[in-house]
Amino acid sequence: MFSHCLYAEDSSVEYKIKVGYLYNFTKFVTWEDDSAESFNLCVLGEDPFGDLIDPIEQLSVMGRAIKLFRLGNVFGAKKQPHCHILFVSSSMTDTQFVQGVENTLVVGESAGFVTQGGMIGFVNKQGKIKLQINLKAITKNRLKISAKLLEVADIIKEDNNE
């Protein structure tokens, strides 16, 4: 399962840990039924993973193969597949688009990501990767999240006015 905090000594280790989390989210988040043949994991912005994330395509989720899509800086194109998990890299500074996604777990790594409407944010504190979760955004997106995942994360209010 999840360790409360994992050490990330260099960026390679940090991104291996993040890949592990992205895969494990599939076990602790429930999506509404869809007709997709594959479980789609998308990376938006500059890809910080490189080839570290490629082996995830050898795994499956809910009986479906995982497909990896690197979207560059474009999200919402008509021919784009539905993303079950959308990882938003720190190169993306405008996160307003996250308000319009449906049946997608939006995960990011920028400072303040979850307070700007993101659902799960990776935070590196003193070399440890921790999770922040915006429960309101997840519920609004009609996703269900396991209490086991909530136990290892900090629950963050969407903005400072709540």
Give long-range contacts, CB 8 A cutoff, 24+ apart: 17-22.
Answer: 17/129, 18/49, 18/87, 18/109, 18/122, 18/129, 19/49, 19/52, 19/53, 19/56, 21/122, 21/129, 21/131, 22/53, 22/56, 22/85, 22/87, 22/107
- Above 70 in pLDDT, residue 9? no
Per-residue model confidence (pLDDT) at position 78? 67
Per-residue model confidence (pLDDT) at position 7? 45
Give the mean pLDDT of 95-102.
74
Give the mean pLDDT of 76-87.
82
pLDDT in tens, 33-75: 888 899 999 999 999 999 999 999 999 998 999 999 998 887 7
Give the mean pLDDT of 84-106.
84
- Above 80 in pLDDT, residue 93? no
The residue assigned the tokens 């795994």 is 59
All domains of the chain, ordered by start, with CATH? 6-155 (3.40.50)
Give the mean pLDDT of 71-82.
76
